[in-house]
Structure 1
Amino acid sequence: MTFAAIVLAGGRAVRMDGADKAAVEHDGRTLLEHALEALVDADEVVVVGEPVPTTRPATFAREEPRYGGPVAALLTGYDALVRPPSVVGVLAVDMPWVTPATFRRLRDAAAGRDGAFLTDADGRRQLAGVVDARRLDAVRPDLEGQHGMPFRALLAGLDLALVAPEGDEGRDVDTWADLRDL
């Protein structure tokens, strides 16, 4: 089974005054470096966002038009993969507590299903999960339908396991206060 992953790192970060979340530091490393570390088991990683130097290999891509939302970013990253995977991981760059163990749990939880996604402490699905590539191919919209499409709409017809977070791994950084509270 091949596992490839897409890091969603090209959003507007409106609640953080437009900051480049990928470049924001936590514990001495950028949020992008945290994301790449979480995906160390992936055979290939595409970062959808501005290209920057990284300590781990990654391909960079950008959706057109920019700021098309998570569905456009996911599918842009998926189309940029060199080899077709059997499982596609997706991770928002603003989730620094997600680890390789998180993605191993997600892949285990997806067995026999279309995929699995991490939840936050309140049970809401987060942008950290895995999807069977064939099922993603089956539900993907045409190019025009990607821009601005809500992520929940893309996943609506899929049989997904929801995986409760361990510790803080379900937390994301949407505001400067969230970053401070990490």
Structure 2
Amino acid sequence: MADFAAVVLAGGRARRLGGVDKVMLPVQGRTLLDRTLDAVPDADPVVVVGPQRPTTSAVRWTTEDPAGGGPLAAVEAGLRLVEGDDGVVAVLAADHPHLTAGTLDRLREVLSSDPRARGAVLAEPGDRAQWLVGVWRLAALRRAMPEAVENRPVRDLFAPLEPHHVPATTAEVSDVDTPADLSRARTRSP
């Protein structure tokens, strides 16, 4: 049973980046995927949802069914490989180059400080939730998971859980969707 687990979404088509395998792009000497895995060193298990690729961390691999079913289907597929309901799980996109273990520690602290809270997510300026940088109680996610998950946004699952919003303190909230984002990530310090 997981006390702290992680589900990392590493699929997608990266259309705005010309269809490259985005999570394998290097940023400051590490792939985006490995940088994300570095942020959850104490998670067990770490489940990566997407095609298998080389990583520097031990992970369990899975894919959503059907493949390409979207981010909510990927979350559901990842949760199937996490046992139990009592722990917490980080749900992360693999394209946040400046995410750190400290970011996840802050989210976990906020969640643990409120026994009624079902989740804590990183918030961009203006208090906009970054749904794929969050920590959630497993039981809450399992109860709230809709039956139909294909091609649905993750906010359909996460927003009704009314998570705490934790303000980003650095570039930790930045993601890579475009060539300009990649360029900024390669030159910016966390």
TM over 0.5: yes
Residue type of the alignment partner of 1:74: V
Deviations 1:101-138 (A, max 9, x none): 10010011113210100122342211100110110111
Residue type of the alignment partner of 1:63: E
After superposition, residues 18-97 of structure 1 pair within 5 angstroms as 18-81=19-82, 83-84=83-84, 86-97=87-98
Deviates more, 1:117-126 or 1:26-35: 117-126
Q: Distance in 2 between matches of 1:58 and 1:73?
A: 15
Partner of 2:160: helix, strand, or coil? coil
Partner of 1:166: helix, strand, or coil? coil
The match for 2:160 is 157
Residue type of the alignment partner of 2:3: T
Residue type of the alignment partner of 1:26: V
1:156 CA displacement: 2.8
1:19 CA displacement: 1.3
The match for 2:188 is none
The match for 2:179 is 176
Q: Distance in 2 between matches of 1:122 and 1:57?
A: 36
1:178 CA displacement: 0.3
Q: Percent identity?
A: 42
The question of whether the paired residues in 2 share the 8 Å contact of 1:121 and 1:170 is answered with no
Backbone CA RMSD of aligned residues: 1.3
After superposition, residues 60-139 of structure 1 pair within 5 angstroms as 60-81=61-82, 83-84=83-84, 86-111=87-112, 112=114, 113-126=117-130, 127-139=132-144
Deviations 1:139-161 (A, max 9, x none): 0011xx10111111112321310
Task: Give the alignment's TM-score, normalised by structure 2.
Answer: 0.90
The match for 1:10 is 11
1:172 CA displacement: 0.5
Q: Distance in 2 between matches of 1:57 and 1:137?
A: 25
Q: Distance in 1 between matches of 2:36 and 2:158?
A: 22
Task: Work out the number of aligned pairs and report it.
Answer: 179
1:88 CA displacement: 1.1
Residue type of the alignment partner of 1:138: R
Unaligned runs of 5+ in 2: 186-190
